[in-house]
Amino acid sequence: MSSDNGSGREQKLIVIDGNEVSFSAGETVLQVARRSGIEIPTLCHDDRLTPAGACRLCLVEVEKVRLMQPSCALKATPGMVVRTATAKVERNRRFILSLHLADTVSDRAVAEDNNPSRLFAMADRHGIAGEWPGLATIRPGRPHDVNRFITFRPDRCIACSLCTRYCDEVEAVSAITLAGRGAGTTVSTVDGRSLTDTTCELCGGCVDVCPTGAMTEKQALAYGKPERELEKVRTTCNFCGVGCQIDLNVDRAANRVVKVTSPPPGTTVNDGNLCVKGRFANDFIHHPDRLTEPLVRGEDGELHPASWDEALDRVVAGLNGVAGRHGADALAFISSSRCTVEENYLVGKMARAAWRTHNVHQCAAT
């Protein structure tokens, strides 16, 4: 099925739930449906990764095809007729969700002790086939993994492979993989070693993509307050000048940043990705030695707390004094690679436009 869109080029069309939808070569049925506002649930899909079709939640009916097909991996073809919400499709979703729930922690409050569970959220939205007895997991874990940041809890794993594919395809380090067979399939490392003894960069991407909380943060888990009780505050990571956006998860009652998460993929410059520093190196925020207000030196030679206006006035007076006594080229401005691009630009502009000197340097250049 195709049509002319007025530009002289043939437009490819498929039919999804009775709606004619155009598509581009290489697009999957899932991508076309979501672009058209048609929801197809998934637990193992991420737009940054190659489709795996592991969770089977995205199965849809295709006209003239006997078996239901995984929409995440099925390429759209002209004239294809797809149905995403038939009784058969919805019955399959409820059945699959019941199977997954029987293979993980059954108590939602326990399952969401840190990260929210997309599995329980899907069950709420689509229903289940029944509450089936839970199965004791036989997946081996890595209880002796000594890394500081990430823990794997096999009783929550549904073998969706999101974590291992992220590690392979986005980070390209392949520190973790699926090992074993059948119900014993687990997320493992080489010889079951600690992540610090592998190629792992401890970026925490595996934690971010996990739909059940099987991969989670040790420090936030030890804090004991689930993510749903924390307030997200969007800010810019201060460890380099890339400008990655991060969400501080704040316990307002304690005035404490509990953990850092990344915004959804496709919404910010870092596309949902963070490095080890951006995601885990946040305990400096509450360090007792951290400066939280400006200090200026008094007549007694000691540093004393001051307001920002007072501190900035002191800086301006000092710079003008040096420039007045020795000329503008006696001044030099050095900015930090931890500042954003915009902040580094402002340092350069301040030096050149306000004090008329080209003595500007940035520590990343050394």
Question: pTM to 2 decimals?
Answer: 0.87
pLDDT over 90 at 340, yes or no: no
Dist CA 4 CA 343 (whole Å): 49
CA 304, 308, 310, 316 dihedral sign is positive
CATH 3.10.20.740 domain span(s) along the chain: 2-85
pLDDT, tens digit, 9 for 90 and up, residues 131-183 = 888 888 899 999 999 999 999 999 999 999 999 999 999 999 999 999 999 98
Q: Which of 92, 93, 96, 100 is nearest to 158 (CA)?
A: 100
Question: Tokens standing for 215?
Answer: 């991969």
Dist CA 207 CA 265 (whole Å): 14
pLDDT at 20: 95
CA-to-CA separations, 201 to 173, 241, 270, 299, in angstroms, rounded: 8, 20, 17, 49
Dist CA 47 CA 142 (whole Å): 29
pLDDT over 80 at 305, yes or no: yes
Contact 256, 353 (CB under 8 A): no
Q: Name, in order, each residue with C-beta under 8 angstroms of 337's C-beta and a sequence gap of 6 or more.
A: 240, 241, 362, 363, 364
CA-to-CA separations, 349 to 19, 242, 262, 321, in angstroms, rounded: 54, 20, 32, 20
pLDDT over 60 at 4, yes or no: no
Q: Which of 116, 110, 108 is nearest to 249 (CA)?
A: 116
- What's the pLDDT band for 355 if we cut at 50, 70, 90? very high
Average pLDDT of the residues in 16-26: 94
**Angle at Cα 258 formed by Cα 252 and Cα 262, nearest 5°?**
110
Contact 213, 112 (CB under 8 A): yes
Q: Which of 190, 194, 108 is nearest to 150 (CA)?
A: 194
Q: Report the Cα 278 to chain-centroid distance in Å.
A: 11
**CATH number among 2.20.25.90, 3.40.50.720, 3.30.930.10, 3.10.20.30, domain 230-290:** 2.20.25.90
Q: Name, in order, each residue with C-beta under 8 angstroms of 315's C-beta and a sequence gap of 6 or more.
A: none
Q: Which helix (H) or strand (E) holds 235?
A: strand 231-236
CATH topology of domain 2-85: Ubiquitin-like (UB roll) (3.10.20)
pLDDT, tens digit, 9 for 90 and up, residues 71-127 = 999 999 999 999 999 999 999 999 999 999 998 998 999 999 999 999 999 999 999
CATH 2.20.25.90 domain span(s) along the chain: 230-290
